[in-house]
Amino acid sequence: MSSIPYGTVAGLAVHVLIVLALIVRVLLRPHRDPASRIAWVVVLLSLPVIGILAYVLFGEVNIGRRRVARMRAVLARMPEFPASVPGDESNLAGQVPERYLPLFRTGQSISGFEPVGGNSARLLEDSNTAIDAMVADIDAAEQHVHLLFYIWLPDTNGCKVVEALKRAASRGVTCRAMADDLGSRIMIRSDHWTAMRDVGVHVAAVLPIGNPLLRPLRGRIDLRNHRKVLVIDGRITYCGSQNCADPEFRIKPKFAPWVDIMTRFEGPIAAQNQRLFASDWMACVDEDLDELLQEPVSAPRPGIPAQVIGTGPTARYSAMPEMFEALLHAARRELFITTPYFVPDEAMLGALCAAAYRGVDTTIIFPQRNDSWIVSAASRSYYADLLAAGVNIHEFRDGLLHAKTLTLDGEVALIGSANMDRRSFELNYENNILFCDGPFAATIRQRQQSYLDRARPVTADEVAQWPARQRLWNNSIAILGPLL
C-alpha cells in the first residue's frame, strides 16, 4: 500500500489552515451581513484555490491603511461648514414639509451637511448639452474650477473640457482636475493630461493603481472614486450620472448611447460640493484648501432647499443604502426610480416591495441591455418578487439608461452618481444631491417619463415563462450578490 507523499500532506494541511483562517476572518470582520458571510464561506469551501485568491483581491473593503488615515486626518481638520447660511433669513424647516425633514436628517448624519436654501437648478437637455454648459461655465470662471470625474475620455466631449480648462488656466484661473486612475486611465496616460499640466492646470489621479500585482497588498484595486463633481467659483456646481465623455461611449460602443442626467445648481449647495471635492483633493494632493473653504457662503434669494450626500468606503458603513431606504419608506403616493445597476440588499428589496404593497405607485426602469452581464442577471432575479408586490418594471430600449434618479411624491428627488447595488453601497465614493421642491422635482419626473416612453413593460407572465435555465442562471448569480 503506497503512502501519500509527505509534501502533499503538508501542502494540503497548509491549504486547509489558510481556508479555515480566512473563514474565521470572514466571521469576525465587522459590517458584514449574514448573506455576505455565508456567500464567502461557500466560495472558500467550494472553490479553495480560486476562493482564496478571490478573497485576497475582493474580500474586504480596504483602500489601504495609509489612505484611510490620510482621509480621516483631512476630514478631521477641515473647517466646519456653517450651520446656517449667513444672509439667508428664510426658515429652512418651513420650506421643507415636516414629513420630509427626517430624510434630510439622514443625509446630514452621513456627510454632516444641513440642507441649505437659496439654490436655483436647471436640468440639462442631454449629455452633449451638459458638456457645453460646463464648458461655458469654465470659460466664464473668474477664480477657480474644480473638477472630478470617474470616467474622463479623450473623445470629443472629453477634449472640449480639456481645452476649456487650458483656456481658464492660461488666463489665471486656478484649475484643479481629478480623475479616477482606473476609470480615466486612457485620459491620464494621454498627451492631453500632460498638456493640461504644462499650461498650469493642477491634475491628480485618484486612487492610483500602481503595480497591479502589488496593489492588493495595499488595498482593493476595485475600490474607486465614482463621483462626478464640477464646482466653479464656489457658486456653481453640477451633479448627476454623467461622466466626461461622449454619449457614444466609445470604450463600450455596442451599448451606446449612454443616456445620462446632469443638473446645474447655483447657490450655497455649491459650497457643499466644494467641500466634497476638497476632501478628495487634499487626501490625494499635498495642498491645503482650508482658506478656500472658510470663504463666506451666502444665499441672496429664496430658492430650492438641497443637501449634498457623499458616501464611500471611509464614510459610515451602510450610509447609501440607509439613504435609499429612508426615501422608499417615506413614499406615500408615487415612487419613480431609474438605475442601471440593481443588486439590492434584503432591507432595500423589502422597502421597495412594502411601498408597492401599501399602495404607492412604484415604478423602476432598468436598461434592457446592460454593460455588466453579471449585474443584469442578478437584477432580473428580483423581478418576480417585485412584480408580485405590484412594482411596475420597465426596461429602457434606446441605449443604456445610465441615469440614477429617484422622485418621491412629486416633491422630493435624489440625483447623483450612486447606483442601487452593492458597489455603490460599500465600495465606491459617490456623490448625490437631495432636494425638496415641487416644480423642480416635476422637471426630473418629466425626464423620467421620457425614459418610460422609450421603455417596454415587463410583466409577471413574461417572467414566469422564462426558461428554467435562465431562472437558474439569474438566481445563481444573485447568490453572489453580496460579493459583487
Comparing CA positions, the residue from 315, 266, 328 lying closest to residue 431 is: 315
Of the residues 146, 160, 166, 228, only one is catalytic, namely 228
Comparing CA positions, the residue from 274, 260, 266 lying closest to residue 124 is: 260
Phi-psi region of 312 (alpha: psi -120 to 50; beta: other; left: phi over 0): left
Provide the grid cell at 46: 467550494
Q: Does residue 398 carry a catalytic annotation?
A: no
Of the residues 233, 329, 361, 385, only one is catalytic, namely 233
CA–CA separation, 279 vs 273, rounded Å? Answer: 10
CA–CA separation, 83 vs 276, rounded Å? Answer: 16
Handedness of CA 55, 57, 62, 64 (dihedral sign): positive
Of the residues 137, 226, 246, 260, only one is catalytic, namely 226
Of the residues 192, 246, 404, 437, only one is catalytic, namely 404
CB 347 within 8 A of CB 321: yes
CA–CA separation, 433 vs 415, rounded Å? Answer: 6
Of the residues 166, 345, 402, 421, only one is catalytic, namely 402
Comparing CA positions, the residue from 251, 176, 179 lying closest to residue 208 is: 179
Q: Does residue 402 carry a catalytic annotation?
A: yes
Q: What is the DSSP letter of 482?
A: G
Strand ranges inside 167-219, DSSP E: 174-180, 202-206
CA–CA separation, 149 vs 50, rounded Å? Answer: 33
Q: Does residue 15 carry a catalytic annotation?
A: no
CA–CA separation, 69 vs 57, rounded Å? Answer: 21
Comparing CA positions, the residue from 83, 78, 79, 76 lying closest to residue 268 is: 83
Strand ranges inside 125-170, DSSP E: 144-149
CA–CA separation, 50 vs 118, rounded Å? Answer: 54
Comparing CA positions, the residue from 244, 239, 218 lying closest to residue 414 is: 239
CA–CA separation, 77 vs 113, rounded Å? Answer: 16
Q: What is the DSSP letter of 426?
A: I
Q: Does residue 252 carry a catalytic annotation?
A: no
Provide the grid cell at 432: 448625490
Greatest CA span in the chain, whole angstroms?
91
HEC string for 244-288: ECCCCCCCCHHHCCEECCEEEEECCHHHHHHHHHHHHHHHHCCCC
Q: Does residue 254 carry a catalytic annotation?
A: no
Of the residues 88, 246, 345, 409, only one is catalytic, namely 409
Residues 127, 402, 315, 282, Cα dihedral to 10°:
-30
CA–CA separation, 309 vs 116, rounded Å? Answer: 12
Q: Does residue 233 carry a catalytic annotation?
A: yes
Backbone angles phi, psi at 268, to 5 degrees: -60, -25
Q: How far apart are the first and last CA of the chain?
A: 47
Q: Active-site positions? A: 226, 228, 233, 402, 404, 409
